[in-house]
Each structure stands twice: as C-alpha cells, then as structure tokens.
Structure 1
C-alpha cells in the first residue's frame, strides 16, 4: 500500500473514532436527561439520517465499545 492510501485510511479511521466518541457523549447526555433507549435510537437515526434498524445497530456497537473501555 502506498503512503497516500495509508494516510487516507488513517484519516478515515480517525474521523470514525472521533464520531464514535462524539456519539457516545450524546448518548450519555440523553441518558442523563432521562431519555429511554428507544428515544435515543430515534435521535441517532435523525442525526445520522439513517433507518431505525441502522441506528439501533450503531447504538449497540457504540455502547458495547464503551462497556469494554470500563472493564
């Protein structure tokens, strides 16, 4: 793999990780405000302009990665 492709891949990975950290912060904030998981998933779907199913999968993925960080 050439340097330019590797840098582009690393840049994309950095954006993905930053997005996940931001979304995790949003999820925690919504939970502290007393929103249910269903409401949070609906908010994620609106924010990401995705389906509820995709938002649910993303919620579970982000929540699971957060739980691994606490172990």
Structure 2
C-alpha cells in the first residue's frame, strides 16, 4: 500500500473525520503513535492502515483492497 492509497482509504472509511483520525487517534499496533506520526517515522502505510482498522473496529470486509484507484479503461 502506498501513502496515497492509505490516505484514500482513510478518506473513504472515515469521511469528514479522516483528518482527526489520522492526527489524534493513538494506534497500539504502531507503538502508540498516531497515523501521522507513524507515517513521518517511515512505518509502512499498510501496517498503519491495519492498526487503524483494529483500533477503529473497521469490519474485515472493508480492510483489504481499499485505497486503490479503479483501473483505467
């Protein structure tokens, strides 16, 4: 997962709350850092996304394959 895909996935899942979720929510899966802090520290965006999903109780079916752009036709 690329950083841009991570940001799209967060926007899709959390909508208007996306910015505050990334900057305020402490994620145990990445050392109790926020997603923004983890990104700045170079943690893999996929690892951050999964930690965010666990912390925010995102259903399994919405955790995989999100953030990807639709293929060009």
| TM-score, structure 1 as length reference | 0.42
Larger radius of gyration: 1
> Of Structure 1 and Structure 2, which has the larger fraction of its residues in helix?
1
Larger RCO (CA under 8 A, 6+ residues apart): 2
TM-score, L = length of structure 2: 0.41
